[in-house]
Amino acid sequence: MEHNQRFFGVWELEPASCQYSMGVPPKSGKYEIQPEEDTLKFILSWSDEERPFLMEFTAIPDGEPHPFANPALADSMTVGYRDDNILESWSYKDDLCLGYSKRELIGDGSKMMVSQEVDTADGKLINRSIYRRV
């Protein structure tokens, strides 16, 4: 599988860019995407006012659903490249889409906008943040 290397590396959150309609925007954060054979490894770390958080997962970016390693969070995840600048993912639980995430490279690729969307009974909730390549 061929990966889009433009997404690889460590990205640092620009806290002032955060536009959150769900949860509290982080005060700091890092987003790392690394290739591991035919998968991508995602390492997300962030801090709010009270404590640090860490989330790691791997995914096959082929646009097909695959079992998710933590079934308490999701049964499966689909990850794929829409084009050279967009890496998308969908998470599912009990055949329902829990959420959608889009990582979009901006301009020359030195910045990445991350959007997370969740559909609720009250409408769509969207969080957006911009990260810069470290």
Sequence-distant (≥ 6) Cβ neighbours of residue 131 within 8 angstroms: 11, 12, 13, 14, 29, 30, 31, 111, 112, 113, 114
pLDDT at residue 50, as a whole number: 85
Domains defined for the chain, CATH in brackets: 5-133 (2.40.128.20)
Q: Across the 134 residues of the chain, what is the mean pLDDT of every consecutive 10-residue run?
A: 84 98 95 95 94 95 95 94 96 94 97 96 94 98
pLDDT at residue 125, as a whole number: 96
pLDDT at residue 3, as a whole number: 67
Structure-block tokens of residue 45: 């770390």
pLDDT at residue 5, as a whole number: 92
How many whole angstroms separate alpha carbon 51 and alpha carbon 53?
A: 7
pLDDT at residue 2, as a whole number: 60
Structure-block tokens of residue 67: 């079992």
3 state SS of 90: strand
